[in-house]
Amino acid sequence: MDLIQFQSFSSAWFWFALITVWAVFCQIYIGVSYHQMRLARKRFPERQAVLLNAIALYLERMTWSMSENIGPLTAGISAFVLSFWIVSAFYYDLEVMQAFFFLFVPLGPSLILRWRLAQRLFKHPADFETVFRQIRTIRYWTLLSSFVTILASTFWGIQVIISNYPEL
């Protein structure tokens, strides 16, 4: 492993990927852009029906592969993989695993919120204003999560770079 160096936090590609993932993740909700929903709410009310139809189609497609609840086997395997990931990343000090942790794990809570919203909207379709308010609430928590994740990964990356910096 010493021949291949994985220095993620000092790579510009990691930071581009981190910013891109969060930028896209903060913009697209249930298959529709938040910007388009905001425009339909403020300036173009005639687009609201089209966006609700697009959301309905997305939810229909999503339910083809969606179950009611996460089974205990899936939850157990997910918990094992996450625990293994955290231990191997931070206890064994594997920088690549740490970088992927900061890149993907914080998306989980927002994915759970989106999944619950999709289930709720599929069971009980709502009007445009209700859907917009629910998506805006999820967007707030996603933006807060993205800020905390980028801030934490920045400080962690600085700490990793400083600790690996060769002494002169």
pLDDT per residue as tens digits for the range 19-71? 999 999 999 998 899 999 999 999 999 999 999 999 999 988 887 776 666 77
In which band, very low, low, confident or very high, does the pLDDT at 6 lie, cut at 50, 70 and 90?
Answer: low
Closest CA to 25 of 105, 98, 99, 95: 105
* CA-based torsion, 154, 160, 163, 168: positive or negative: negative
Strand partners, 28: 33
* pTM recorded for the entire structure: 0.84
